[in-house]
Structure 1
Amino acid sequence: MEYNGFPTIRGRGMVKWNPFASMPEQYEEIHRMFEEQYKVPKPFLTQDTMERIERALMQSLHEEKEIFIS
Structure 2
Amino acid sequence: MTDELLTPRQVQADYGFSPQTLANWRWNGTGPAYIKQTPGKGGRIKYRRSAIEAWLDDNTVKAGGQRAA
TM above 0.5, yes or no, is: no
Q: Quick check: which one's strand share is greater?
A: 2
Question: What TM-score, normalized by structure 1, do the two folds share?
Answer: 0.29
Point out the structure with max Rg over C-alpha.
1
Question: What TM-score, normalized by structure 2, do the two folds share?
Answer: 0.29
Greater relative contact order structure (CA < 8 Å, 6+ sep): 2
